[in-house]
Structure 1
Amino acid sequence: MFERLADIVVRHPKAIVALWVVALLAAAYPALSSPSVFQYDMTSMMPSDTESAKGAEILGSDYFYPTAAASTIILVEALDESAQEVSEALAAALDAELADWSVNRGLREKYGDSVQITAGKLGVFDDRYFQATVSSMILFGIEYPALPDGSSLNRTSYVPDIREMTAQALESIADPGLKEAVEASYVTGSDAITYDTMTAATADMEKIDPVSILLIFILIGLFFRSIVTAAIPPMVIGMAYAIVLGAVFFVGQIMGIYYITPILVLVSMLGAGCDYCIFIISRYREERKRGSDGETAIRESVKWAGESILTSGCSVIIGFGIMAFCSFSMVSTMGIALALGIVVALIASLTLIPSLLAIFGDRLFWPSTMDTYAQGSRAMKGWYGKWSSRGQRYFAGTVKASMRHSKALVVAVILITLPLTYVAVTSAPSYDMISTMPDSESKQGVSVISAGIGGGMIMPTYIVMKVDAFADIDPEAETYVPRDNAEQFYRDMSELTGSLLEMRTQGQENISITYGPTDGDTLFDGSPAHQRLFERLVSFLPQSTQEAIAYLEEVLGVTGYEAICEVWYLLTDEEKYTADYMLTYTMGAVSQVFEEDGRDYQYVKVTVVTKEEPMSDLSIKTVSQLYSAESGFAGSHSYVNGSYITGAAVMTYEVSEIVTEDFDYIKAAVILLLILLLFLVMRSYVTPIRAVLTILMSIMWTLGLTFILFDQLMGVPVVWIVPIVLFVICLGLGMDYDILLTTRIKENVMKGMSNDEAIEAAVMRSGAVITLCGLIMAGAFSTLMFSTSPMLQEFGFALGFAIAIDALFIRTYIVPAIMHLLGDWNWKGPGSAVIRTRGRDPSRRCRGGERRIR
């Protein structure tokens, strides 16, 4: 196979280069357009058959009144005594800014004056809602209209304009006293979070890309003492990356691509792809130094190095590709993109690099030549030669020391592995995706709201139940008529929401507000619990609640909860039903009646707002308690015919459960496939198992240290996706260096060396290249630590450390020690060619099957 590939490369190098150029040009436009398919909300990529997805689908159906939680929130902190006046002045100023906004002008011109983006006041929150000394929170929600043609607005793109208009509106407040009362302002909410995440990711890429490329350029340049050689691998992999981005654009038309995917693809391609390129170039140089002509050197490079990098590349592709079978599209598309990146990088290293060598030959090593690397040359007498000699002595010394102290080394690594494995296995990852966001205005706004009325207000949790119909609602006539079972139903709902409000999570009160279906007879019974609920609803669900309260106050001629309770009984049934229509249907708590299987049903919604932000670890634990409350209520009330919990926190929880379950199978599949791959290549029973175990060891070291560094020392939670993805990525990439070393040892044994001689020669010949490749890949991943995102920092540290420890320590010290102890067991297998070759030269063997190294 590789002889045939080498023959094609030698005969048609220019045609191969031309094909790559054509592929690059074809991929240019889709590659530049690829950011348009990236997604920044993990929960939008979850499977459609989960409980939360079904609940969200019901809430978005026509059964409910068309309401939606504000996805863009304006938060203003102001002094208590001026907060109400500031809110009124700001409302007027925002209306003026929005009316003159170019986006609204375009909407009015296209759809009419009634279609425009507006700002609705969510309320003024003072000490009744949270503990504060002198400040109140003023909240506005940006309300986006449903467009008549069914198209949707790109709400995320409007965040910068909304921030600018908010600042101008605050500046335009005429009263100096009111202006001074404003302490701070933020634009937050899910749209702002998405925008800030997207902006930070783009800025991170602008920092990470040049640092990665510069690092690779310096390392390769120093190793080969060549400017040209230093530029070739990054340029080749850069072409390959552009082609992969073009393919990612088309994949993104079918399934979502999470925003960190292209970043991981880039660094993995730069790391692994440059490794493959270096291995080909290094083997070519090695053959030329031995006296082979250029054509022979290319053939030998493709034949021997090609087999090594194809095997190592396949191991990485297996590790990445198996992720495609995950049920969660964020992980599956990440696996597809990462595997595709390695495939293209592998093809480039096996075809484009040899073709460039065939065309340019030794000129690719300019300003060095083959004479530069010869003993006695000026370069070898200078710094380059001194470092090369030191490198040779280092690897010669390490391999002999590792074999001499092999048992002690194995015992030492076991003693290190056990405690770090314990930390890795017992540490709990976090679900808090907001905590992993870069510091931004939206994140600061979430923190302020969390410290006040509850971070869950930005992303509430909903309990949705399908119940026997209890009230006939006609949206066209705006009428509400209760059925005979309504009174008992509302009592039950009141008990449910009350019990949820009293619920504690780990001894803490984490629920700020609960609201479900309630009618006037229940709400205005004068109880302290319903009075507190009324006071909070006035602000929490503003538009619909305020309309209902305004209607009651106008009809009754009184204001305030106690006054309404005193005269509620004076209302006629028709007036009560009008208020109930507002309190139930227009607030989105109750759906219309629908018929199914000859019976009448309705959907009801209970809204739960947590005090902490919705994806915090405490809120996720609260979600698990809500599951119990939901199932308990449904089980004890026969009129409940189905129930669901939905919301951002629930989706995050379900996603983590799905991925964790899937990865139990994925991990097993990766391990088995890698063992099978190595068995087919090495024809050995023991070597594949040894290789996987040593890589698992380095993964446990990495996971343990990641939890210690980030979670325990820095106080930054390790996100649940990091350990899962890290395991598969490291298992694939870590196999790279084991295969590069072991295949070289196998080659030496097949040429007649004893096991120890083969190990020593392989480490001395390949040690420098493997170290260089490890430094490049570890360095490429480590540049992720320059990101402003804690999640990418965790990925950067974990992947960088795992690759570095694997290439610089495990493959240099531990693998030679273990293979020395195993002796001929390294090559025991079905009809092993290695054993047959060894067997024909018994004079080279002594006791234990080894020839002594002197």
Structure 2
Amino acid sequence: ISIALGLAEVVVFLVATYVSQVDVSTPVILLTVLIGVGTDYSIFIIARYREERVRGGSPAQSVENAVTWAGESIATSGATVIISFIFLGFQPITFLKGLGLVVGLGVLIALIASLTLIPSVILLLPKRIFFPMTGERFDRYATRVKERLEKKVGYFSRSGKFAIKHAKVIVILSIVVTIPAVYIWANLAPSYDFLGASPKNLESVSAFNTLTNTFGGGSIFPTHVVVKFASPLWNGTAYRTGGMSLLDEISNDTLRNHAVLSVTGPTRPGGARVDFRTLSDDPRSLQLISSMNKMLSQDGQYALLTVTLKGSPYTQDSITVVKQLREQYRSHIAGNPQDLKGIYLGGAAGTIVDTSDVVNTQFYQVIAYVTAAVAVVLLLVLGSLFLPLFAIVSVVMSIAWTLAATAVVFAGLYNFPILYITPLTLFVLLLGLGMDYNIFILTRIREESTKGKPLNEAIITAIENTGGIITAAAIILAGSLGALSLSSSLLLKEFGFAFFFSILVDAMVMRTYVVPAVMSLMGRWNWYAPGRIQRVKMK
């Protein structure tokens, strides 16, 4: 893991230097992800090696079997994680682009290290790898494990039997829990306030809050409106009456909005309306003309309005106001097509609205691309049409549960909503990392089925052999990513809680109970696939 982390820092440097900006929080997320997945991959190789040794295999044969069976699961799992994050690297949002490329390539390094370095170390120290459990101690341990597996008295043996016996009830309960969670997810009002997610003791946060309370939240991040006319408003000696009247009307309409604090522009150089028709060549008029012309382009065809909102540009009210103003401006253009050639609203609030639209569009595109790519990988590995679809559905269920829990917890404890990038990041991360445990359990069930065991017996055997390892790996990964919740930043705190909750639920509830229950109900249809793709022939 340390080697992978060291090489991953080189990746951060290369991506930041040659490809895209890397946000300051990305190396922290990379560190937690690599510790989690690197530990997971290493544990699964070592655990499968130990299982083969318990069965009496030689060190060389045990390593070969571990890499053959566990290695396939790890490679498949790593592929889904890499695919998920690499797709983020093609997004136009800088934060997501840097995060996707850095973490995707970092996981690739961890995967290669686990499949090459770990087996090599095991073969170099075959009798010392489980020190101090060596020699007779290991033999006694192996005897106890085999007796427990034969009697099927362990927790995971019982959970497997329970899931199969009460399959219908478990499936119904999972659907009942999912319905309100999806409702909460669908009705989330995401926040775009990264500054609000920063620690409250920062001077910049205190300054922003003071400015908001004293001068209006838009004073530090004003909204800019550029109005383009067909002909100049100022000809060098006088203003064009029609154009200036239209600009005055646009300014007045903007100011009528309840969320707008003030508007400055050529007809309102100091915030108060100026009658341009009464201006002459006296000193006061000349001073006003000078101020007004500073808000016109050199050719006189463009006018700049500066709109100060009452609230922070990051609030839902401000975002709603921007959308309303854009609708008003479109109406002005439609009503004056000969004179108005365009009205462009920018600034912080406008940028947030555009970012929101891009994220919403990209969210569904990323979901579609990542889901399709992961489904193809699972189809080829599992040799089943149903299981890849079910695996993705189960991850989406976990995401819905997680977003609902995160929204409730952070609204109650911190009065802070879900950040707009949380659902997308969580989906990509959980579809990759959460799919790990799906792949580990499904490939093991497939392995036991190919050895001729009936489906329910294969399910129980797979759970009792991998349940403890999956749970341990999940606790490690959840603890690693959950450490982000200790940060004073609400952004990282929210990420940490969401990752922690989703991974534990995915591994300890979804994989331990829901997956076995659904597979037991589906029977032989679990393994159906056309032609040579099918890998398990069920009678």
1:710 & 1:665 partners in 2: Cα distance? 28
Match of 2:214 in 1: 452
Give the Å deviation of 1:488.
3.7
Q: Is the 8 A contact 2:528 2:534 kept in 1?
A: no
Where structure 1 has 5 or more consecutive residues not aligned to the other structure, the ranges are: 1-236, 473-480, 505-509, 524-528, 535-564, 594-600, 840-854
Q: Deviations over 1:747-770 (max 9, x none)?
A: 111112111111111111111111
Q: Deviations over 1:531-576 (max 9, x none)?
A: xx69xxxxxxxxxxxxxxxxxxxxxxxxxxxxxx9xx98x962745
Match of 2:423 in 1: 723
Length, aligned pairs only: 533
2:195 & 2:237 partners in 1: Cα distance? 43
| Residue 792 of structure 1, aligned match among 476, 492, 504 | 492
Question: Given the alignment of the two structures, is residue 437 of structure 1 paired with residue 437 of structure 2, yes or no?
Answer: no
1:386 and 1:748, CA in 2 relative to 1: closer, same or farther beyond 3 A? Answer: closer
**In terms of Rg, which structure is larger?**
1
Structure 2 letter corresponding to 1:273:
G
Q: Is the 8 A contact 1:459 1:648 kept in 2?
A: yes
Give the Å deviation of 1:392.
6.2
Structure 1 letter corresponding to 2:402:
T
Q: Is the 8 A contact 2:149 2:464 kept in 1?
A: no
Match of 1:584 in 2: 292
Q: Deviations over 1:507-547 (max 9, x none)?
A: xxx22221011388xx8xxxxx93xx69xxxxxxxxxxxxx
Give the Å deviation of 1:608.
0.7
1:572 and 1:665, CA in 2 relative to 1: closer, same or farther beyond 3 A? Answer: closer
1:827 & 1:325 partners in 2: Cα distance? 34
Question: Given the alignment of the two structures, is residue 627 of structure 1 paired with residue 326 of structure 2, yes or no?
Answer: yes
Structure 2 letter corresponding to 1:287:
E
2:14 & 2:132 partners in 1: Cα distance? 42
Question: Given the alignment of the two structures, is residue 499 of structure 1 paired with residue 207 of structure 2, yes or no?
Answer: no
Once the two structures are superposed, the pairs formed by residues 193-204 of structure 1 within 5 Å of their partners are none
1:370 and 1:776, CA in 2 relative to 1: closer, same or farther beyond 3 A? Answer: farther
What secondary structure, in the 3-state scheme, does the structure 2 residue paired with 1:257 have?
coil
1:768 and 1:608, CA in 2 relative to 1: closer, same or farther beyond 3 A? Answer: same
1:372 & 1:653 partners in 2: Cα distance? 64
Match of 1:209 in 2: none
Q: Tell which deviates more after alignment, 759-768 or 493-502.
A: 493-502
Match of 1:470 in 2: 233
Match of 2:341 in 1: 641
Question: Given the alignment of the two structures, is residue 405 of structure 1 paired with residue 166 of structure 2, yes or no?
Answer: yes
Question: Given the alignment of the two structures, is residue 280 of structure 1 paired with residue 29 of structure 2, yes or no?
Answer: no
Q: Deviations over 1:618-665 (max 9, x none)?
A: 111111122123223333333222221111221122112101101212
Q: Deviations over 1:441-496 (max 9, x none)?
A: 21111111111111211111000122221225xxxxxxxx33451x4433333332
Question: Given the alignment of the two structures, is residue 744 of structure 1 paired with residue 498 of structure 2, yes or no?
Answer: no
1:658 & 1:832 partners in 2: Cα distance? 38
1:710 and 1:385, CA in 2 relative to 1: closer, same or farther beyond 3 A? Answer: farther
2:342 & 2:509 partners in 1: Cα distance? 57
1:794 and 1:246, CA in 2 relative to 1: closer, same or farther beyond 3 A? Answer: same
What secondary structure, in the 3-state scheme, does the structure 2 residue paired with 1:604 have?
strand
| Residue 296 of structure 1, aligned match among 44, 47, 61 | 61
Q: Is the 8 A contact 1:430 1:717 kept in 2?
A: yes
Match of 2:522 in 1: 822
Give the Å deviation of 1:274.
1.1
2:84 & 2:153 partners in 1: Cα distance? 33
Q: Deviations over 1:217-262 (max 9, x none)?
A: xxxxxxxxxxxxxxxxxxxx23212212212222212322222222
Give the Å deviation of 1:713.
5.6
Give the Å deviation of 1:290.
2.4
What secondary structure, in the 3-state scheme, does the structure 1 residue paired with 2:304 have?
strand
Structure 1 letter corresponding to 2:237:
P
Match of 1:328 in 2: 93
1:603 & 1:484 partners in 2: Cα distance? 13
Question: Given the alignment of the two structures, is residue 517 of structure 1 paired with residue 266 of structure 2, yes or no?
Answer: yes
Q: Is the 8 A contact 1:695 1:734 kept in 2?
A: yes
Q: Is the 8 A contact 1:750 1:833 kept in 2?
A: no
1:517 and 1:825, CA in 2 relative to 1: closer, same or farther beyond 3 A? Answer: same
Q: Is the 8 A contact 1:490 1:519 kept in 2?
A: no
Give the Å deviation of 1:833.
5.9
What secondary structure, in the 3-state scheme, does the structure 2 residue paired with 1:433 have?
coil
Q: Is the 8 A contact 1:317 1:343 kept in 2?
A: yes
Q: Deviations over 1:709-750 (max 9, x none)?
A: 223564211111111221121112111101101111111111
Once the two structures are superposed, the pairs formed by residues 333-352 of structure 1 within 5 Å of their partners are 333-352=98-117
What secondary structure, in the 3-state scheme, does the structure 2 residue paired with 1:252 have?
helix
Structure 1 letter corresponding to 2:516:
P
Where structure 2 has 5 or more consecutive residues not aligned to the other structure, the ranges are: none
Q: Is the 8 A contact 1:288 1:294 kept in 2?
A: yes
Give the Å deviation of 1:385.
13
Q: Please provide the CA RMSD for this pair.
A: 2.8
Q: Is the 8 A contact 1:463 1:605 kept in 2?
A: yes
1:375 & 1:356 partners in 2: Cα distance? 24
How does the TM-score come out when normalised to structure 2? Answer: 0.92
How does the TM-score come out when normalised to structure 1? Answer: 0.59
Match of 1:614 in 2: 313
1:387 & 1:761 partners in 2: Cα distance? 12
What secondary structure, in the 3-state scheme, does the structure 2 residue paired with 1:643 have?
strand
Match of 2:185 in 1: 424
Q: Tell which deviates more after alignment, 759-768 or 258-267.
A: 258-267
1:572 & 1:731 partners in 2: Cα distance? 69
Structure 2 letter corresponding to 1:337:
V
1:652 and 1:242, CA in 2 relative to 1: closer, same or farther beyond 3 A? Answer: farther
2:476 & 2:148 partners in 1: Cα distance? 18
| Residue 435 of structure 2, aligned match among 735, 760, 765 | 735
Give the Å deviation of 1:389.
12
Q: Is the 8 A contact 1:518 1:583 kept in 2?
A: no
Q: Is the 8 A contact 2:80 2:374 kept in 1?
A: yes
Once the two structures are superposed, the pairs formed by residues 34-113 of structure 1 within 5 Å of their partners are none
- Larger strand proportion of the pair: 1
1:630 & 1:258 partners in 2: Cα distance? 35
Question: Given the alignment of the two structures, is residue 688 of structure 1 paired with residue 396 of structure 2, yes or no?
Answer: no
Once the two structures are superposed, the pairs formed by residues 658-677 of structure 1 within 5 Å of their partners are 658-677=358-377
Give the Å deviation of 1:428.
1.8
Give the Å deviation of 1:684.
1.1
What secondary structure, in the 3-state scheme, does the structure 2 residue paired with 1:792 have?
helix
Match of 1:573 in 2: 281
Question: Given the alignment of the two structures, is residue 603 of structure 1 paired with residue 352 of structure 2, yes or no?
Answer: no
Match of 2:13 in 1: 249
What secondary structure, in the 3-state scheme, does the structure 2 residue paired with 1:436 have?
coil
1:710 & 1:643 partners in 2: Cα distance? 39
Give the Å deviation of 1:388.
11
1:371 & 1:727 partners in 2: Cα distance? 47
Structure 2 letter corresponding to 1:449:
L
Q: Is the 8 A contact 1:451 1:611 kept in 2?
A: no
Match of 1:772 in 2: 472
